[in-house]
A and B are shown apart, each in its own frame.
Chain A
C-alpha cells in the first residue's frame, strides 16, 4: 500500500498481532503505538479492523484512544466505520454520563455520511439527557452534524431542540447551544435561526453571569449580532455587560468591548450614561497591554480600530503605548501606529522625544516607521512642525542610509503641507543625493528639486545627473523626473531647453511604459501649443494633503468594529477577504441611532405602511450581461434636448407594447397600493409602488446606491414633478477617503423613455464626508424599452473612480402631464370604444374625503375630472390622465355614500394608446 511516510510491513504485522492480543495491557500499549505513528503522519489505516475490535472495553483510556483513531481514519474507510456504530449507540445509553458524552462527542466527529442517520436517535436522546454534561456535548454535536448534512439536521427538528436549550437551567449548556446556533446561523445568512428578542437576550444575559469564561465569550459574541430596538434597551444591555470588563480573560474583555462599542452607537451623546461608558472603556483596554505579547498584539490591532472610531476614549493614555526595549517587534510596530494616531498638541513633546529615541534602534522596519512617524507628527500638529523638521535633520546627519531615505520621503510631505516655510533645509537634503537608492526616496528628492527649482542654483545639473540612468530607474522615479524637468523648464526656460527635449524624447520615444509615454506627450503638446497654459497646469497650486494617513475607510471601519476581537480585526480586512464559502459573507453594520420617542414617520403612516410595505430595496444591477454593454455603449455625454424626437412609429411601438403586457403590470401595481390608500395624503398618488411617504405627501428619500457597493459613493434620491418638468433629486455623499470628481449620469432604456435633460451638475469636487444635492431635470424623449416592473429605471453614475450601476423605481404619477384634460365629447366616444379587456377596477378603503376634495386633490397630480354625476346618492367622477408618452388613461371614480365616513372609491382604468386613434386634444 502507498504510505505518506514509510512504515514497513513488518511493523504493521507486529502491531496487528499485539492489537489482537488477549492481554489488556498489551492491547493498550499497541493502540498507543498506533496513535503515535498516526501523529507523526505515518499511515496506519491498514489496522482499522483490528483497532475497532478494541473498542468494546471498560477501560475508558483505551476507549478514548480507539475513538481518536476512528476520528482520523473513518473517512478513508467509511464501510468499516459502520462497524463502530453499534458500540456508539450502546455507549450513548451507558449509565456513566462521561461515557454517554464521550460517545456522542466522538460520533459527531466521524464524518461519514452513512453514519449520520444512525447518529440521529442517540443524539435526540442526549439533547434531552438528564445530565447537563451530556446536554452541553450534544448541543455542539448538532453543529457538527449540520456541518456534514445540513438538511438532515433541519428535517430531524434538531434546530428547534437546540433553540430550546437556550432556556436550559445549566449555563454551560446555554453557552454551547448559543455557540452552535451562531455557527449554524452563519451559514444561513438569511434565516432567523437565532431569533434574538428581548426575552431571549435576557436569558443570555443571565447565563452570562454564571458560565465559564469561554461560555461568556460565546454569549457576548452572539449578543454583538443583536440590534436593540431603542436606546433604552441598548443602555440596559450595556449596563449588564460592563462588569465583564474586569474579567481576567482578555477575550471576554474584548468581546464585551465589541458589544459596548456597537450598542453605544444607539445611545444619545448627551446622555450621562454615554460619557460614563466612554470613561469605563479606557482602563480595561490599557490593562490588555500587560497581557502576554501575542494578546497584546491582538489588543493593539483592535485599539487601532477603536482609536479611529472613538478617539476620545484613549486620548489621555499616550504613555502606555510607549515602546519598551524588549517588546517583540510586532508589538512595537503596532504601538507606534497608535502613538501617531493619539499624537496631539498636548502630548507632542513627549511623543517626539520617544520617536527620536526609537529612530536609533536596531530593527530596520521599526526605525523607518519611527522616522516616518516624526514626519506625520509634523503634518498633524502644526506647532510641532519646526521641531520635527530639526529632528529629521539631525537624523539625516547620522548618515544611516535607510534613515536618510525615509526622512527625505517625509520631508517632501512636510513641504507640501507647509509651503514656503522649511525650504532652507534643501541644501542639507541635496548633500545626500548620492546615497539614495530606493525609488520612493529618489522620487521624493526629485520632486523637491523640481518643485523648488528656482531656489536651487544647480537644479539642472542635479536633474541631469539622474537623467543619465533614466532607463534603469523605476517608473515612479521616471515619472517624477519627467515632471520635475518640465517644471524646471517652465521656471528657467532659457537654460534648460536642451534638458527638457532630452527627457521628452526619452519618455515618448525610448520608453515602452504607456503611462510615461502619455504623460510625455501631454507635456510636449502643452509646451508646444500654449506655454502659458502649460504653466497653469504644471505649476498649479496643489491641494492640501490630509492630516491623517492610513485611515481605514469609514464603511470598512464600521464593519470591523462589529468584528472586534476576531481575526478580521487583526487583519483589518472584512471576513469575506479571507474566509472561504458562505461564512462571513454577510456584512455587519453598526446600528443607527434611533430615539425611542422620536420617529421619522408620522404615526398614522407608520401603522399604515408598517405591515405590508417593506421599503423598496434598491437593487444593484449586477455588472454583467448585455445591460452593461448597453450602458457602456451609450456615450456618457448627456443627450441634448434639442435633438430630433424619436420617430412616431417608435413611440407607437412603445405604446402598443405597453398595451400588451403593460396593462397587467400597471394594474398590478395599482392593486399593491391598497394599504397605502388609507391616508388621504396618498390618495394623490394612487400609483405608488411600495413608495414610502411622509405624512405631508412628500416622497421620502431612498438610498439607491449604498456606499459599500460603490467605493464610498452613496446616492439617495427621489423624484418630483415641478412646473411640468420631471426632476430627479439626488443626494450624493462621499464616504470614501479621497476626493470625487467628474460626475456623469446615464439611464438605460426604460418604459417611458426617461433620459437626463442635461448633465449632472456637480461642479465642485466632492471631498470626503461631503454631501451635495443635485436636481436633474428629465426628458421623456429617450429610447424606449419595456421594463419589469414598468416603472423601473436603471441608472449608471460615473465618477473619477469608477462607473456604478443601480436601479430605482419612479412613481408613475411623475409622468402625468399637465394637458391631460380630455374634451368631454372625445371622452365619451373613447369610453365606449375601449374594449373590456383593458378594464380594471379596485377599491380604496377608509378614505375620508368627499368627491370634491378628492377631485381637487387628484387634480394636483394632473388627474383631471371631466364630469361628475350623482346616481342614487353615489357620486360618480369621470377623469382622464395623459402619460408623457401620449397614452391616455380614463377613469371612473365612484364615491358610494356621503353619509358614511368611509368612502369606497372605485377606479376604472381604461388604457388605450390614444395617439393611434385620435389627434391630441388641445
Chain B
C-alpha cells in the first residue's frame, strides 16, 4: 500500500510529508526531488522507480503530489487517490497553490490522517469529511451527533447525512458535453467522440430517492415494444460510469439509474458516445506554400446546427511555422491576431448562428532557414460553446421520492441545461 505522501513546490521543497510505512525513509523525499523534479529531461512516465522504490506523481499547476511505495500496490488506486486528494483539498481551501498549502498545513495533515490509514484509502467524500474535520475543533458535539458522523463515514450512504432540510426543494441538472474530433485535411472524420457528464446540483430535504431517465437507445427500444410511442430520437451510449451513489447492480440488471444523491453538487454520470454525433463546426483548411519564404493559408468554418441557436466563444487556432517573420490576416467576422509567442494565428468570434459560414485568409512570411526538417504542420484546433448536446442526449425525467417527508415529485423545482463544448477539436492541414 501507499508508504508515504509528499507534496512539493516547483523548486522541490517539501511542503507536506507524511510517512505511513516504515520502509519509506527520509531519503525517499530527496530521491524524488533529485530524480524527477530536478531531472534535466522531461519526465517520461508518471510512475518512476528509484532504487526499488516506486513514485507516483501528479502535478497541479506548479505543485507536485507524490505517493511513494515499496510494494506491488494497485497503481490505478494510487492515482485515483491522488486526484481525490486534490479534490478534497480544493473543496476545503480552494486552488492548490503553494501559499494555500502552507497556510493550511495543519488541516492537510489532519485530512491525510483521516483519508489514508496505513496507506489504505478510507472515506474521502468531502461531504462526510466536512462534518467532522473542521478547523474549529469538535468538542461541542452531542453523543447523537457523534454517532451520526461515524455511521455516515462508515455507512452505506457515506455521501449524505440525515436530517437535511430545505424550504424550497430544487434541483439543477447540467448536461455538459465535450465533443472531440480529428479530421483529415480532406474532410474525412478520422475519429470523433463525445464525452459527456451529467452534473447534478440538488437542494432536497431528507433522504430523497431519485430516478434519472434519458433517451438511452436500449431503454427506449425496450419500452417501444410496449406500444408507447417514444418521442424524439434515442442515442446509443457506448459506455457510462456512475457516481458511487448510483446502484450499479440495478443499472446492470434493468438499466435504470436510481440513487440517493449527495447534498449539493455531484457528478452523477459520465458517458461516451461515438455514433450520430452532431459536429457543430466544420473547418476547411487550405495551405499553400509559395516559394520557400511564404505561406498562404485560407480557413473556412461552417456552423452546422439549427439557425435559431447561437454558438459562443468561438476560437480558431492556426499554427504557424517557427521561422515566421510576419503575418497579414484578413477575416470577414470576428478578430484575428498573430501571436508570435504561441506560434499561431488566433481568430476569435464572439457569436455565430447555425448554418453560417465564415472565412479567414492569411499570408505568412517566413525567414529562410537551412533546417533540413520540414515543418511538422500541427493541426488547426478550435474552441466553442453551443447550447445543445452534440451527442443528442435528452433528459427525459428525474423523479424524486421522499416517503418520509411531505413533499412530492411535483413540488420539486427542476432545471435542465445543455452545454456542448469543444474538447480536442482538430483538423489536420
The chain A residues found within 8 Å of chain B, CB to CB, are 4, 32, 35-36, 39-41, 58-61, 64-65, 67-68, 72, 95-98, 101, 105, 108-109, 111, 131-134, 136-137, 140-141, 143-144, 147, 170-173, 176, 179, 183, 209-214, 217-218, 221, 240, 242-244, 246-251, 253-255, 283-284, 286-287, 290, 292-295, 297-299, 319-320, 322, 324-326, 329-330, 350, 353-354, 357, 360-362, 398-400, 563, 565-571, 575, 578-580, 583-584
B92 part of interface (Cβ distance < 8 Å): no
Interface of A is mostly: helix
B404 part of interface (Cβ distance < 8 Å): no
> Smallest CB-CB separation from B120: which chain A residue?
A179
Identify 8 new A-B residue pairs, CB closer than 8 A, beyond the known A58-B139, A297-B46: A35-B106, A41-B29, A65-B109, A72-B19, A212-B122, A218-B120, A251-B74, A579-B52
Known A61-B106, A132-B150; contact A398-B17, beta-carbon cutoff 8 A: no
B14 and A39 contacting across the interface, CB-CB below 8 Å: yes
CB-contact partner of A243 in B15, B81, B248, under 8 A: B248
A60 and B15 contacting across the interface, CB-CB below 8 Å: no
Known A132-B151, A133-B150, A360-B374; contact A250-B139, beta-carbon cutoff 8 A: no
A98 and B138 contacting across the interface, CB-CB below 8 Å: yes
Q: How far is the CB of B70 from chain A (nearest CB, A)?
A: 6
Q: Which of B152-160, B161-169, B226-234 contacts A (4 or more CB under 8 A)?
A: B152-160
Write out the residue numbers on chain A whose beta carbons fall within 8 Å of the beta carbon of B406.
none
- Kindly state the separation between the CA atoms of A158 and B379 in the bound complex, as whole angstroms: 62
B interface residues, how many (CB within 8 angstroms): 101
Write out the residue numbers on chain B whose beta carbons fall within 8 Å of the beta carbon of A571.
47, 49
Write out the residue numbers on chain B whose beta carbons fall within 8 Å of the beta carbon of A101.
150
A253 and B17 contacting across the interface, CB-CB below 8 Å: no
Task: In the A-B complex, list the 8 residue pairs whose CB atoms are closest, starting with the nearest.
Answer: A283-B239, A133-B150, A251-B76, A243-B252, A251-B77, A575-B72, A243-B248, A294-B46
A326 and B80 contacting across the interface, CB-CB below 8 Å: no
B1 part of interface (Cβ distance < 8 Å): yes
> What mask results when residues 223 to 256 of chain B are scored 1 for a CB within 8 Å of chain A, else 0?
0000000000000001111111001110110000
CB-contact partner of A295 in B79, B120, B143, under 8 A: B79
B273-316 contacts to A (CB < 8 Å): none
- Kindly state the separation between the CA atoms of A290 and B23 in the bound complex, as whole angstroms: 34
- Kindly state the separation between the CA atoms of A578 and B377 in the bound complex, as whole angstroms: 42
Known A41-B14, A212-B244, A322-B182; contact A143-B118, beta-carbon cutoff 8 A: yes
A183 and B139 contacting across the interface, CB-CB below 8 Å: no
Known A40-B13, A319-B191; contact A65-B106, beta-carbon cutoff 8 A: yes
Write out the residue numbers on chain B whose beta carbons fall within 8 Å of the beta carbon of A584.
71-72
A137 and B239 contacting across the interface, CB-CB below 8 Å: no
- Kindly state the separation between the CA atoms of A251 and B79 in the bound complex, as whole angstroms: 8
> Smallest CB-CB separation from A132: which chain B residue?
B154
- Kindly state the separation between the CA atoms of A673 and B240 in the bound complex, as whole angstroms: 60
Known A566-B72, A567-B73; contact A35-B105, beta-carbon cutoff 8 A: yes
- Kindly state the separation between the CA atoms of A330 and B118 in the bound complex, as whole angstroms: 30
Known A59-B137, A221-B74, A294-B56; contact A213-B244, beta-carbon cutoff 8 A: yes
Q: How far is the CB of A488 from chain B (nearest CB, A)?
A: 33
Known A59-B137, A295-B76; contact A246-B241, beta-carbon cutoff 8 A: yes
Write out the residue numbers on chain A whose beta carbons fall within 8 Å of the beta carbon of B138.
60, 98
A39 and B17 contacting across the interface, CB-CB below 8 Å: yes
B372 and A400 contacting across the interface, CB-CB below 8 Å: yes
B248 and A250 contacting across the interface, CB-CB below 8 Å: no
- Kindly state the separation between the CA atoms of A132 and B83 in the bound complex, as whole angstroms: 27
B267 part of interface (Cβ distance < 8 Å): yes
A96 and B146 contacting across the interface, CB-CB below 8 Å: yes
> Smallest CB-CB separation from B29: which chain A residue?
A41
B124 part of interface (Cβ distance < 8 Å): yes
A290 and B109 contacting across the interface, CB-CB below 8 Å: no
Write out the residue numbers on chain B whose beta carbons fall within 8 Å of the beta carbon of A133.
149-151, 153-154
B373 part of interface (Cβ distance < 8 Å): yes
Write out the residue numbers on chain A whose beta carbons fall within 8 Å of the beta carbon of B71.
567, 579, 583-584
A399 and B372 contacting across the interface, CB-CB below 8 Å: yes
Known A35-B106, A563-B72; contact A297-B47, beta-carbon cutoff 8 A: yes
B413 part of interface (Cβ distance < 8 Å): no
A247 and B248 contacting across the interface, CB-CB below 8 Å: yes
CB-contact partner of B135 in A61, A141, A578, under 8 A: A61
Q: How far is the CB of B189 from chain A (nearest CB, A)?
A: 10
- Kindly state the separation between the CA atoms of A305 and B128 in the bound complex, as whole angstroms: 38
CB-contact partner of A567 in B57, B75, B155, B182, under 8 A: B75
- Kindly state the separation between the CA atoms of A580 and B267 in the bound complex, as whole angstroms: 40
Write out the residue numbers on chain B whose beta carbons fall within 8 Å of the beta carbon of A567.
47, 54, 69, 71-73, 75
B241 and A295 contacting across the interface, CB-CB below 8 Å: no
B45 and A297 contacting across the interface, CB-CB below 8 Å: yes
B109-126 contacts to A (CB < 8 Å): 109-110, 113, 117-118, 120-125
A298 and B428 contacting across the interface, CB-CB below 8 Å: no
Write out the residue numbers on chain B whose beta carbons fall within 8 Å of the beta carbon of A326.
424
A325 and B426 contacting across the interface, CB-CB below 8 Å: yes
B378 part of interface (Cβ distance < 8 Å): yes
Q: How far is the CB of B251 from chain A (nearest CB, A)?
A: 6
B15 and A105 contacting across the interface, CB-CB below 8 Å: no
Q: How far is the CB of B261 from chain A (nearest CB, A)?
A: 14
Q: How far is the CB of B298 from chain A (nearest CB, A)?
A: 22
A105 and B374 contacting across the interface, CB-CB below 8 Å: no
A214 and B124 contacting across the interface, CB-CB below 8 Å: yes
> Smallest CB-CB separation from B190: which chain A residue?
A322
B38-86 contacts to A (CB < 8 Å): 42, 44-47, 49, 52, 54, 56-58, 69-77, 79-83
A325 and B74 contacting across the interface, CB-CB below 8 Å: no
Which of B56, B81, B244, B426 is packed against the most chain A CB atoms within 10 Å? B244
A398 and B272 contacting across the interface, CB-CB below 8 Å: no
- Kindly state the separation between the CA atoms of A563 and B75 in the bound complex, as whole angstroms: 10
B22 part of interface (Cβ distance < 8 Å): yes
> Smallest CB-CB separation from A175: which chain B residue?
B120
B171 part of interface (Cβ distance < 8 Å): no
> Smallest CB-CB separation from A318: which chain B residue?
B191
Write out the residue numbers on chain A whose beta carbons fall within 8 Å of the beta carbon of B137.
59-61
CB-contact partner of A105 in B106, B117, B248, under 8 A: B117
Known A170-B155, A212-B158, A319-B191; contact A298-B75, beta-carbon cutoff 8 A: yes
Q: How far is the CB of B185 from chain A (nearest CB, A)?
A: 11
> Smallest CB-CB separation from B428: which chain A residue?
A357
B215 part of interface (Cβ distance < 8 Å): no
Which of A247, A295, A580 is packed against the most chain B CB atoms within 10 Å? A295
> Smallest CB-CB separation from B156: which chain A residue?
A210
CB-contact partner of B146 in A97, A287, A329, under 8 A: A97
- Kindly state the separation between the CA atoms of A324 and B17 in the bound complex, as whole angstroms: 35
- Kindly state the separation between the CA atoms of A255 and B80 in the bound complex, as whole angstroms: 13
B251 and A214 contacting across the interface, CB-CB below 8 Å: no
Write out the residue numbers on chain B whose beta carbons fall within 8 Å of the beta carbon of A565.
74-77
CB-contact partner of A60 in B139, B193, B381, under 8 A: B139
B378 and A246 contacting across the interface, CB-CB below 8 Å: no
B113 and A68 contacting across the interface, CB-CB below 8 Å: yes
B396 part of interface (Cβ distance < 8 Å): no
Write out the residue numbers on chain A whose beta carbons fall within 8 Å of the beta carbon of B81.
214
> Smallest CB-CB separation from B157: which chain A residue?
A210
B376 part of interface (Cβ distance < 8 Å): yes
- Kindly state the separation between the CA atoms of A30 and B346 in the bound complex, as whole angstroms: 54
CB-contact partner of B77 in A137, A217, A247, under 8 A: A217
CB-contact partner of A64 in B21, B83, B113, B125, under 8 A: B113
- Kindly state the separation between the CA atoms of A32 and B44 in the bound complex, as whole angstroms: 38
Q: How far is the CB of B135 from chain A (nearest CB, A)?
A: 7
A580 and B190 contacting across the interface, CB-CB below 8 Å: no
Which of A39, A97, A210, A242 is packed against the most chain B CB atoms within 10 Å? A39
> Smallest CB-CB separation from A173: which chain B residue?
B154
- Kindly state the separation between the CA atoms of A354 and B191 in the bound complex, as whole angstroms: 11
Write out the residue numbers on chain A whose beta carbons fall within 8 Å of the beta carbon of B21.
147
Q: How far is the CB of A396 from chain B (nearest CB, A)?
A: 13
- Kindly state the separation between the CA atoms of A10 and B184 in the bound complex, as whole angstroms: 69
Write out the residue numbers on chain A whose beta carbons fall within 8 Å of the beta carbon of B191.
319-320, 322
Q: How far is the CB of B60 from chain A (nearest CB, A)?
A: 11
B147 part of interface (Cβ distance < 8 Å): yes
